Amino acid sequence: MTPEQSCREAFVEASSFLEKCGVYEPHNNARLLLEHVLGVYGAQYYMMQPEPFPSGLRNRWEDAVTRKAAGEPAQYIIGSQEFYGLPFEVTPAVLIPRPETELLVEAVLRAADRVFASAGGAVRAVDIGTGSGAIAVTMASLRPQWQVSAGDLSADALHVAARNAAANGVQIDFREGDLLAPFAGERLDILVSNPPYIPAGDIAGLQQEVRDHEPRLALDGGPDGLAPYRIMVEQLNLLPAPPQIVGFELGMGQAHDVAALLESAGHWPEIIIVPDLAGIERHVLGVRPSEQVTKM
């Protein structure tokens, strides 16, 4: 980096360097890092392009670009990721929230507005495998009348999620434990989960950013990737009754297996498969109208 380099020139140089290093979406990553280092966004970012790069930020900028070139996700370098318009702290203890998960939240909210139209504030929703808390915090933010809980096997992830709940001004009951186990004996109206769903044998072939930096606990779904779904369906017997809405995110090619799993459980007359924006069947919902009661 030359002493008189402009912010625009720093961006171009970093983009080219990241591209040569094989970084996916080098231009987008360079922009994310430059915005973070400069502390400017939107119109301010563009206005600063012709300005000389601040000399006091050179070391920080070069460190960020070097880390990115080595495969570290930009979100971990920056320490944050936006989800549904809300800011979330992310660390290597949690999976980075993905845009497609926003569609799961939307699908669950649509179903809930239909099923619980007259329930008022009595709806109890739980997010299993909450990670950064993205799903739970978003539900609590968009439906403040709900009672929202969240669980995770990782204590470190729960610390991150709790900070995100506080930063976004919502109250969430966080529990540490294996999937539904921390909620044994409690009534749950809505169960939402984006669990680990990558088949264990496929993890070695994942993109470097994911394979080497995101927590394996949040990736490994067992031999075929479906272990967490089977366990959660089995754990339903820990509850007084099955939730009226279940919403799962899953991997490519898993939708019909998970849909069949929910159908065979016999608790939800409506099984809905929701594609993501790329047309991949990404989410499966089980829905039971309020007038239908299922006994365990």
Evaluate if residue 284 carries a pLDDT over 80: yes
**Least-confidence region, from 49-58, 80-89, 139-148, 215-224:** 215-224
| Mean pLDDT, range 89-111, rounded to an integer | 96
Instruction: Kindly give, in sequence order, each residue whose CB lies less than 8 Å from that of residue 279, ignoring residues fewer than 6 positions away.
Output: none
Q: Which residues of 231-259 are buried (b: 16+ CB within 10 A; e: fewer)?
A: ebbebbeebeebbbbbbbbbbeebbeebb
- Is 0.85 topped by the overall pTM? yes
- pLDDT, greater one: 233 or 211: 233
Average pLDDT over residues 163-180: 98
Task: Please report, in range form, the residues annotated as the binding site for substrate.
Answer: 194-197
Write out the two tokens for 220. Answer: 């490994």
Instruction: Give the integer Cα–Cα distance in Å for 235 and 12.
Output: 52
Binding residues for S-adenosyl-L-methionine: 129-133, 152, 194
Could you give the CA distance from residue 28 to residue 26 in angstroms, rounded to a whole number? 6
- 3-class DSSP state of 13: helix
Residues contacting 90, CB < 8 A, separation 6+: 75, 76, 79, 80, 81, 96, 97, 132, 160
Structure tokens at 3: 């002493």
Tell me the per-residue pLDDT of 245-275, one tens digit each, with 9 for 90 and over. Answer: 999 999 999 999 999 999 999 999 999 999 9
Q: How confident is the model at residue 217 (pLDDT cuts 50, 70, 90)?
A: confident
**Angle of the 7-20 helix axis to the 26-38 helix axis, nearest 10:** 140
CB distance 256 to 234 below 8 Å? no
Feature table: binding site: 129-133, 152, 194-197
